Structure 1
Amino acid sequence: MNKLISLCMIVKNEEKVLDRCLNSIKDYVDEIIIVDTGSKDATIDIAKKYTDKLYNFEWINDFSAARNESLRYATGKWILVLDADEYMDQAEIKGLRQALLQQTPDPNVVYMLSIISFLGDQKSSTTTQGLVGRVFPNHLGYKYVRPLHEQIVCSEEGKTKSSKLPFKVYHSGYTNVALDEKNKHDRNMAIFEEMKKKQNLTPYDHFTLGNQYTMMNEPDKALEHHLSALENGNENEVWYRYNCLSIMQNYINSGQQLKAWNFSEQYFKEYYLFPDLLSMKGLVYLNIGLSNKAKELFLKALEVSEEKASNNEDIALFSQDLGTKFPLWQLVHLYEQEQNYNQCVYYLTKLILSNERDIKAQIKLTEILSLVESTESIVTFLDKLLKVNSSSEKMASTARIAILLGLAELAKYYVNTGNLESRLNTKDSLRYSLLCNNQEKFEALVGRLSEEEQKDPIVLKLLVGGSLVWNRYDYLIKVTPEINNEGYSYFCLAEKLLSDQEYLLTEQYYNEAFELLSGIYILGYYDTYDQLLSRMEVPAIINQLANFFYSKHQQQTAFVYLEYLANNNELSPQNCSNLAQYFENIGDTEQSITYLAKALELQPDWTKGYVQLYKLSDDPIQKKSSLEILSTIDPLYKSLLN
């Protein structure tokens, strides 16, 4: 029987993800070829479960060379290329096989698949989407070129064409955890440096290097390369439009909001009715202080995305998340800022209905519900939304959220109802013991800490918290953290507080002091909090606490600290901004303007403040002055504000 699809892969130390990848496609490919470039873990053993076509290749800092080695062994009619940190849903790979049964190989056509990449935190990652050539005919001279971000080309130089197939590949290699574990940034930058020595970078090279700097959170360097790619690139290339989006994103990330706006007007005007671009423009509005206009665009993005979905159209030009999940989150934050908790709950519910594993949304939903609902009502709501009580796994996850938020009654409900104490990890168990004021349980857990757990900064901080709330200096000597451990400075501060009643806080420990105070407050140890605060009552700490309580919607407590700061002439621009927002929410425009003006006195280059002042003020002189200042910064402000 003739083989239809050969899967060709290159791997190195992929034991955590390879099984997922191969298991997802094994029933729909005819052979699996794996070239290993030096694995030291269980990668080869996992691969042997799926194929005997395993080959070694010495890594020479060249992805194309390794890819081409894998192509040498393929015998199928078509080649499919995947990475170990990718996978396909069954419907997608089945559809791809059926489509290839109908296709005639073309010596010049590479088929593009949509690669959905997860970014950031694995538990609540965002995604980006791009088309990449992953399917092409075998035996027709196709080969890979470029050592990094390799591209497949046909035998005739310059003749390669692309065509899209409507199937998706999911990629988890750019989550924070994956980037750290694989050290991809250092590896990729080393290859780029070698490329620079050997040849001039092409526009595509500048595009990929710009993407690398974006992932490394260096937007200014990213812009340098993306702009070079724009100037010298070919607008007909698939990557060109993505380069334009990257430029707009990096203008925003580097604080150049109006450059982002102008760029979008020049390059994306014809695409404005795509939800992801509506969201990008909404973000620019939000960042310059026009929250109402931002809200309108976020709502429009959701409306258009729902309309496109109902018509089975592509929801987004670049990223579905940017057109759906992103505007939902922005609306959550905007309504939370306005203290409109019903709308917060509404949009958080939509987020969770679209992905019930969105832990970030569940945490925020539980936090918002705790402001306005009883424990019983929260339990009822969460069960209706997520069927929490139907699964011990769901109850454990919800219990962890309640423990994290310091919601003792809610945490006890789920832990007791689901008999979950044995299912909590060490960090959650320590925190739960603190939350329940169970010193005996806490001590037992400390006595069983493994060597690895004793190095965990979160465990160390919880141990410090226990030592302070129960006044137990001996807890500190049970573990000795290394100096370079993140938890070391917390130990030092706790040691000083417990051993020296006359100790007064020094600037060296301001951040640690704030984290300990806010953490102890969340856990409900108010007397301990007051005692510690009396020894740490310096403006820098009070300032952080004021903003902390404001962010937790405890305005009365926040105002106590803000009054202290005002009396000592220590209000920060952020304090003033929070006060301005509060008074705007309750309709006291005069007070809001007073604090905006105060914030601008303290931070004259705060352009967002001038925008807000212009919006709120009815005083023609004040409005004119604000507009003149903004127009001096950029004349575009005049048209955006009118």
Structure 2
Amino acid sequence: MAVQDRYRAQNCVLTISLLVSNNLKTIRKCLESIKPLLQQVPSQLVAVDTIGSAQSDGSLAVAREYTDEIIHFDWCNDFAAARNTGLKAARGEWFLFLDDDEWFDDVSELVTFFNDSQARQKYRTLSYLKRDYLDLAGRHFQENAQMRCVRLTPQTSFHSRVHEGLEPLHLPLKETKAFVHHYGYVGGRGKKKVARNEQLLEAGLKTDPQDFHLWAQLVAGIGRSTATDRKMVKQKARAGLNNFLATDTPRYDDYRNAFTLVGYLMSTALLDEKWTEILQLQAEFLPKFTLTQYEACILDAMLFQAHQKLKQPNKAQTCLDDYLLKYAWLQAHQQEYSMQQSFYFKTLVSVTNEVGMLRALFAEALKDQNYQRILHYLELIPWAEDAGVKQQLLPFVLRALYFEENSHALQQLLGLLQNAAGKLPVIFGKTVSELKQQDDIEDTKLTQLLARTESKDPYILVQRALAAQGSLAFTQRLKDLRKQKVTCEVPYEEFFWLLCANGIDPDFAVAPLNQDVWVLTVASLVGKYATQKDELPAVITQIENVWQDTSRKELLLASLRRSYIYREDTLLSELLPQLRPYAQNILHYAQALYLPELFAGEPSRLLPGEVRFGVYLERALGERDAGNLDLYFANLRWGLDCYEAAKKLVERLLKEYEGQQVEQQQVNAELLRLGNQVKAQILELLKNRQTAQARPLLAELQELLPQDENVQQLQALCQAIEAQA
């Protein structure tokens, strides 16, 4: 008995209709994926055979294993007609359709829904997701909601011979997370399908030029990557719109599809950078439409781009304001949103595009120093969305608040950002810290602005303490921070610098952090001085003076020194005094973590590369001090084998000593030349037995060339002459 026979004819809840073509590789996956529905829900499976037994690749035989209801359809290049054949045989309360090259990942949510009689009565449409894969590995896909399941009415039917859909669709809508996999457009097969669909669309329009769904599908499938493609889009879209304008009584869906054609005309104008043409299209067609909120967002997004390019900021702002209003409505009315949306221009109606439009407007406003334009959107920005929204828009808003010196608006912003416990997101502090390092932002001024706000968030408490330095309130501000047990972790790392600057051991604010958090904090602390290299030696000394010895101190000092000595703009005379402390910082930190025997002899490969480099660097410096240059060079090269990041540093050190050696050779050669001249003078004096004049020259020569045998011979000769006298 086929699986389908489990349904009860007098109480059939669900009819599943499947078009069967020659997809032998996928049809069993498809049918197995819906098997739980057939087994656990009173259901009916109708397979519509579009091939015929004689031409079947075996798919039809597979379908017969799951249902006895196989209806033959003589293929006539009309998908809607084929679907309606299956629809006519439906006995279920609900109707769902899919293709034999698609399969569900998991239908448990659907099983639950169809077994819930109250839910079935509450909803009239159900959606599931379709993943259209872009590669055979399944790593990339486009996902869209499909309105492919409805509660049946006498009016339910399929329309359009290709890319067909069920009509009418009614609210309320049950949105599910169930999804089907679809690889039908990957590779060469996809190109064949596109070509087939284009032929069907063209043929359908010859038969019915007022099928505006076909017009929209035809235009959408052309592509817009080349000038030739865009010219074709314009021709076809214009042809479709001419037919629409000639229609006496357009249906609701006709308006929706005609708007899609206008949208494609505008999008090609955007790609061709014909900004005024977009405004002309608006004036030509849009008065004829009553737009849905979804369509209004699409229109606003395109007009916004045009006005931006035409340097019309006020008009761009009007478009953005309307976009935000309409998009907020859609988000507050998810049912209507789902019914209005389509895959046409889907990316234009999204948080991503909303943020992109805000960024574009804010960037121009900053250039024009129109900070009020940015602050106008303070409460309209979707702050509650993911961290990406805050990351992209906070820098603009905070800069505007800074230049306007607007404490009231800043207080509003804090209220919008903080959670129920009054805590600000980490990205807020990170953004402020980044702003403080920019040339046009005065650190102290921004700190004072933040300090005037009312908040118990640790970041604001740190700003108050920074602002209170040198005043009687400073001690109380520190007490507030200690009472709340504020640490130095990101984004409160300014607390660390505050403590050090005031001669306070920061260990109480560092010790509570776990190691991973401290590593991230160190990276942030070091980053503060990425553009302030000359201040690093003083900062290092300050830390050494106020902080007791701990392994965490060693890690920070090693990191600060690394950032200093590895910079190519640090002079050798500046970095040389930091080399030994750097090596010692590394080793002291590592010795608190690793066994002592790992450091003996050749450092163990179990140690991190920089630690092994530190071992060799310290040894190299010892050999240099002892005058063993060969071992100095050898240790540096061994260290470089462990830690590639030190390559430029080691090269500089080697060149320095090679340069010194060359310089010494030059000095020695000059000394030898001078020595030979003096020797000749002394010999001449001794020949004339002028020993008194020769003696001072011999003394100088002895200092100049202490190991020279000729000097000793001259001294002996001088003594012999003096003895004879």
Q: TM-score, normalised by structure 2?
A: 0.37
Please say which structure displays the higher CA radius of gyration.
2
Q: TM-score, normalised by structure 1?
A: 0.40
Q: Whose relative contact order is higher, 1 or 2, with alpha carbons under 8 Å and at least 6 apart?
A: 1
